[in-house]
Chains A and B, each alone.
Chain A
């Protein structure tokens, strides 16, 4: 074990002796991750439309009026199931109807940002001026829930204003005799007295607040929403991270070929150590460089305020599996490659094809289904699916076991090829 560490430490020392290597490890990956993260939504002020469930149990023009007011106050909200469509997907199954129970669950699961329920008999109660409440559900500290609530507040204010005006109008109407020919106001004093009366009445009604909002805040599930920062960087951080891990680790090919050329690899072979120790030392070098590369890019994510989900260990495990897989791929390639030119060409070609193919540069979901199938030959696909499971879908360790398993299985095969055909001279 000591010999392995000695070899790895020495390799790292050689690697970091070259400032070009350090720049390659930090500058380009960080810059690209930032640019792509911001471009795809991480900047914060792009229009992410929020999904809100709107359950109308009254089905009257009055209840429809609430929805209309909501739309007017905030155009970035869309309402399910009424708005279900291509761009405003409600994530409802075809035969699914939105019941109160389902809607509540959707809020808890973070599928919808909030739920607004108009109770049955809403219109009737308003007309008879009985108190009535709209039920509002959201998660305790969901920022997006606040946005919905603000819109609802404004809408209710509007509705209440209309009711008050209607009530006052009715009352005032009672004071007049429609048949009378006399002018409405005999003098200025009468007019002023009337105005005062209307004003007092309106204030009274308004204070009574016929329509209120009843908050049903769910405390159990916290922070389920995907923020704009997460939407952008959640793609670019693992994507660029994986791309540059490929670059960096496959750059190990170059290191290996140079070591053959400068005969230090041969020198290692004649040392009193085993060949297994030499190979393990090189493998540990690749692994360390790959993990350093991931860390650098993920730190960009941390500073951009992206949300990594609740399973850091699952993310770590996915990183480890991917780095091990690429290290194994590098060993396998090393059996076929003998010049530095070939090494550069092959590592560039493979990173530049496997990374976008596997969904590192854009979300794989936007590609045609056939591409999503082909993508599975790329290790990047599996790494990305592991990362996304945790970052976007609140996945835990169990959710990344499949991608991690696939990556490690590939690694075993590739290592076997690489170790069997390893060229020392």
Chain B
């Protein structure tokens, strides 16, 4: 079977202004099958956008190549680009122009014109549910509406393959729900192949046929969800949000040794979100246990004895988050 995307040995090295080099992507190879939703899951800075940029022809790989429907993105760029629609992470629209004008312009560059162009623009506006606002300037739109236009541009020419780079960032839950439904629709009704990147475990989990987990520019796990969660066994995870308190290693050791069925206890210190929002993510203790619900009251008791205030507790069954944690020792958090 021919793959929709075949990336082999992609490497991207950036030069920093101070002259040092940073290897943002360190040799990524992956194949995406026709008609599947494939997710790239990884934390901020993992190299997701850099990877998409290389396989969409925006930047040149330092090493390696990718084939899109059999066409090399470096050597047969135009043919390869015709097959793909791209939804960039940033909103890439002309704010001074109306939604319709934006769609028409990019549609023309995809080779559409005349009646055909008008028809496709109408369809897309319908699809992203903005027909009634099509004449309004994009800069009068809400964030969610802009996101939808941004997606619409990538669908104008009915591509076989769609790249969506974190299309749900910074929007409300309703709009997010809508976009996720859209992704399913693209696969199920339009037979498109979707490459979806996200740093949200839930999204990857809900959408994907297959997932590649990426960290520090490398794929650390790839497969269906079943295949991936099997790697971490049957352990549950107990999550305790503990605010800004400091947690001693001794305490974690204590949990591991005194509570039955617990195999590991980890601590993630509180941190600042990378967005300029400046919101603090509270510190979190993660406890792995073979029977989570049974171990829960005992762990709480140990923490109470150490005077740790717990602001919330959650029990999670094996999921992609657990896989990431298992492989990297860090939590994949939003």
| 8 A–B contacts from the bound complex (CB under 8 Å) | A14-B94, A14-B97, A262-B94, A264-B93, A271-B106, A272-B109, A273-B109, A425-B59
Q: Complex: how many Å from CA A270 to CA B49?
A: 14
Partner of A271, one of B90, B101, B109: B109
Q: Complex: how many Å from CA A18 to CA B96?
A: 8
| A26 in contact (CB, < 8 A) | no
* CB atoms of A270 and B57 under 8 A apart: yes
Contacting B at CB under 8 A, from A219-254, are none
Q: How many residues of chain B have a CB within 8 Å of chain A?
A: 28
Q: Complex: how many Å from CA A311 to CA B176?
A: 64
Q: Complex: how many Å from CA A266 to CA B86?
A: 11
* CB atoms of A425 and B93 under 8 A apart: no
Query: What residues on A are CB-neighbors of B93 within 8 Å?
Result: 262, 264
| A10 in contact (CB, < 8 A) | yes
Q: A263-B88, A270-B86, A271-B81 are in contact. Are A17 and B97 (CB under 8 A)?
A: yes
* CB atoms of B92 and A267 under 8 A apart: yes
* CB atoms of B97 and A271 under 8 A apart: no
Encode contact with A along B108-120: 1 for CB under 8 Å, 0 otherwise.
1111000000000
Query: What residues on B are CB-neighbors of A425 within 8 Å?
Result: 58-59
A54 to chain B, nearest CB (A): 66
Q: How many residues of chain A have a CB within 8 Å of chain B?
A: 23
* CB atoms of A272 and B82 under 8 A apart: yes
Residue of B nearest to A17 (CB): B96
| A171 in contact (CB, < 8 A) | no
Encode contact with A along B77-100: 1 for CB under 8 Å, 0 otherwise.
011011010101011111111000
| A208 in contact (CB, < 8 A) | no
Q: A3-B109, A263-B88, A266-B88 are in contact. Are A13 and B58 (CB under 8 A)?
A: no
Q: Complex: how many Å from CA A7 to CA B106?
A: 9
A7, A18, A263, A272 pick with most chain B CB within 10 angstroms:
A272
Q: Complex: how many Å from CA A238 to CA B92?
A: 39
Excluding A3-B108, A262-B91, 15 further A-B contacts by CB distance (< 8 Å) are: A13-B97, A14-B97, A17-B96, A18-B96, A262-B90, A264-B92, A264-B94, A266-B88, A267-B106, A267-B153, A270-B56, A272-B78, A272-B79, A272-B110, A272-B111
Residue of A nearest to B91 (CB): A263
| A346 in contact (CB, < 8 A) | no
Q: Complex: how many Å from CA A244 to CA B86?
A: 39
| A274 in contact (CB, < 8 A) | yes
Q: Complex: how many Å from CA A264 to CA B93?
A: 6
Contacting B at CB under 8 A, from A368-425, are 424-425
B226 to chain A, nearest CB (A): 34
Q: Complex: how many Å from CA A17 to CA B94?
A: 11
Residue of B nearest to A266 (CB): B58
B88, B92, B111 pick with most chain A CB within 10 angstroms:
B92
Q: Complex: how many Å from CA A87 to CA B144?
A: 73
Query: What residues on B are CB-neighbors of A424 within 8 Å?
Result: 58
Q: Complex: how many Å from CA A274 to CA B59?
A: 14
B58, B59, B84 pick with most chain A CB within 10 angstroms:
B58
* CB atoms of A268 and B109 under 8 A apart: yes
Query: What residues on A are CB-neighbors of B79 within 8 Å?
Result: 272
* CB atoms of B95 and A270 under 8 A apart: no
* CB atoms of B57 and A14 under 8 A apart: no
Q: Complex: how many Å from CA A10 to CA B101?
A: 9
| B190 in contact (CB, < 8 A) | no
Contacting A at CB under 8 A, from B46-61, are 56-59
| B105 in contact (CB, < 8 A) | yes
Partner of A262, one of B57, B95, B105, B111: B95
| A269 in contact (CB, < 8 A) | yes
Q: Complex: how many Å from CA A266 to CA B165?
A: 14
* CB atoms of B97 and A6 under 8 A apart: no
Q: Complex: how many Å from CA A10 to CA B137?
A: 14
Q: Complex: how many Å from CA A262 to CA B153?
A: 15
Q: Complex: how many Å from CA A331 to CA B258?
A: 69
Encode contact with B along A1-27: 1 for CB under 8 Å, 0 otherwise.
011001100100110011000000000
B179 to chain A, nearest CB (A): 18
* CB atoms of B94 and A10 under 8 A apart: yes
Query: What residues on B are CB-neighbors of A3 within 8 Å?
Result: 108-109
A298 to chain B, nearest CB (A): 28
Query: What residues on B are CB-neighbors of A7 within 8 Å?
Result: 109
Encode contact with B along A263-289: 1 for CB under 8 Å, 0 otherwise.
110111111111000000000000000
A227 to chain B, nearest CB (A): 44
* CB atoms of B109 and A262 under 8 A apart: no
* CB atoms of A6 and B110 under 8 A apart: no
Q: Complex: how many Å from CA A13 to CA B96?
A: 9
Partner of B78, one of A10, A14, A264, A274: A274
Residue of B nearest to A263 (CB): B92
